[in-house]
Amino acid sequence: MKDYHFSATLPQDARDIMEKILKECVSLKTEMVSIYNSQGRFVAKDHLSINTSPPASVAAMDGYAIEAEQTFDATDTSPKTIENFKVVQTGESIQGFNAVVPFEEAQIEGRRIRIFQSYYPGQNVRSKGEDVQKDQILVRKGDFLTLFDRVYLKAGGYLEVEVYRMPKVAFLPTGEELVDIVEKEGQLVEFNSIIFSDILQRYGFEVSIFKPVENNLEKLTEKIKELLPSFDIIFVNAGSSKGDRDLTADAISALGQVLVHGIAIKPGKPTIIGKVENKPVIGLPGFPVSMFFVLKEVFLRSFFKAFGLNPKEKSVFAILERRLSSDIGSEEYVRVSIENTDGRNVAKVLKRGASVISSLKRADGYITVPVNVDMLEAGSIVEVKLI
């Protein structure tokens, strides 16, 4: 008889198992890419600056390069006249001088200039190395490259950067009801593939989306087998719970091993972690919201940890608008919108159903309620991970 029950693995245990199989089965190669094509990639080694930027002290204004000391005590009523100066344009070296008087603040008198105030050394100057010093760390191994990391790399002398090649991942939806456009009763639009590709492409994974497979054990098993040689990780979507037509766990066991079926998280409980021919095969729940959180909080969190990656995700602190209750025994992800009221961030809890994408559309982020917490009081400060 089919077993309809699940035991749920604790979330941290499930993440540890995921991390272990990722380390065992996946290795990240590296490649050199142009700085211009490096957005959204993880750096594969520490990059130290080759250059100093600016390479010399340069003018920050168009004007006269001077020695600041010669202007000390100059005022409107007792100006100073200076003979030793050089006309410089913004960005030009001020070698031999230490300050710049903008054209509009001085009067030229033949080969001399008259100054009406004192200037300090370094005034209107971009000093040598003020932005980047030679040999300083520009980006660290594992850093997710942001726009300004890349600007910094180029300023520090790099035109190419060594990054990780992220795994090739397959997304295999299951269910004969899934179509691109609904034409008859019983059909539903397949949209989880958009969530999947967006979240993983954001971090540079090479994503391939396949057409839905029907709920047939033989067909599903065949399809997984066919994909194995070409991909590093296979994600099967839906069919993860224990309905009569939920076959993902059976297909994985037929080919390899199911290590986890059921995690104490909400939403996302029916998640499957498996291994076939030394490749991770992961069963994601069919509900879009569940799939989203499993990808973020189980798969990606474990992946980043396994390979020492820093995705630079952002979170903000907010005040919880209303008391929030949660089931003890599961780690719950609660979607919230953030509103700024009287200069303070207030987190408003949105609908909690796992099948409603409208609540994700409205959400700015989510709160994680730990396994052993059943209540967060109104007014408590919560960390909101931004979506």
Ligand X SMILES: Nc1nc2c(c(=O)[nH]1)N[C@H]1C(S)=C(S)[C@@H](COP(=O)(O)OP(=O)(O)OC[C@H]3O[C@@H](n4cnc5c(N)ncnc54)[C@H](O)[C@@H]3O)O[C@H]1N2
- Would you tell me which residues interact with ligand MOO (CB under 6 A)? 266-270, 285, 287, 290, 354
Residue recorded with tokens 């009763």: 185
- Please list the residues that pair with 272 across neighbouring strands: 261, 283
CB nearer ligand X, residue 99 or residue 354: 354
Residue 81, classed as helix, strand or coil, is strand
> 175 is in the binding site of which of ligand X, ligand MOO, none (Cβ under 5 to 8 A by kind)?
ligand X
Instruction: Give the end-to-end CA distance of the chain in Å, rounded to a whole number.
Output: 42
* Residue 206 CB neighbours (<10 A): 14
Helix H, strand E, coil C: the string for 142-182 is CEECCHHHHHHHHHCCCCEEEEEECCEEEEEEECCCEECCC
Give the containing element (helix H, strand E) for 249. Answer: helix 248-255
**Using only C-alpha atoms, what is the Rg of the chain?**
30
Residue 8, token pair as written in the block: 């749920």
Residue nearest to ligand X (CB): 286
CB nearer ligand X, residue 37 or residue 355: 355
> 246 is in the binding site of which of ligand X, ligand MOO, none (Cβ under 5 to 8 A by kind)?
ligand X
CB nearer ligand X, residue 284 or residue 324: 284
- Please list the residues that pair with 345 across neighbouring strands: 340
> To the nearest whole angstrom, how small is the minimum distance from the Cβ of residue 238 to ligand MOO?
11
Residue type for position 262: G
List the interface residues with ligand X, window 92-131 (CB under 6 A).
none
The whole-angstrom separation of Cα 369 and Cα 331 is: 6
List the interface residues with ligand X, window 322-351 (CB under 6 A).
none
Q: Which of 239, 256, 274, 280 binds ligand X (CB under 6 A)?
A: 239
The 166-205 contact track toward ligand X, x by CB under 6 A, reads -------x-x-xx---------x-xxxx------------
Q: What DSSP state is assigned to residue 93?
A: B
Residue 208, classed as helix, strand or coil, is strand
Q: How buried is residue 280: exposed, middle or buried, by Cβ count under 10 Å (0-12/13-18/19+)?
A: buried
CB nearer ligand MOO, residue 243 or residue 379: 243
Residue recorded with tokens 């089919």: 2
> To the nearest whole angstrom, how small is the minimum distance from the Cβ of residue 175 to ligand X?
5
| Angle in degrees, CA 345, 387, 44, rounded to 5 | 120
> To the nearest whole angstrom, how small is the minimum distance from the Cβ of residue 359 to ligand MOO?
13
> To the nearest whole angstrom, how small is the minimum distance from the Cβ of residue 53 to ligand MOO?
50
Largest CA distance in the chain: 103
CB nearer ligand MOO, residue 153 or residue 265: 265
CB nearer ligand X, residue 26 or residue 363: 363
> To the nearest whole angstrom, how small is the minimum distance from the Cβ of residue 356 to ligand X?
11
By CB under 6 A, the count of residues binding ligand X is: 26
CB nearer ligand X, residue 167 or residue 283: 283
Q: How buried is residue 249: exposed, middle or buried, by Cβ count under 10 Å (0-12/13-18/19+)?
A: buried
> 173 is in the binding site of which of ligand MOO, ligand X, none (Cβ under 5 to 8 A by kind)?
ligand X
List the interface residues with ligand X, window 262-301 (CB under 6 A).
267, 269-270, 285-288, 290
> 359 is in the binding site of which of ligand MOO, ligand X, none (Cβ under 5 to 8 A by kind)?
none
Q: Which of 143, 246, 331, 332 binds ligand X (CB under 6 A)?
A: 246
Using the rule CB under 6 A, is 225 a contact of ligand X? no
> 260 is in the binding site of which of ligand X, ligand MOO, none (Cβ under 5 to 8 A by kind)?
none
The closest alpha carbon to 207, from 188, 224, 185, 230, belongs to 230
Enumerate binding residues for ligand X (CB under 6 A): 173, 175, 177-178, 188, 190-193, 237-243, 246, 267, 269-270, 285-288, 290, 354
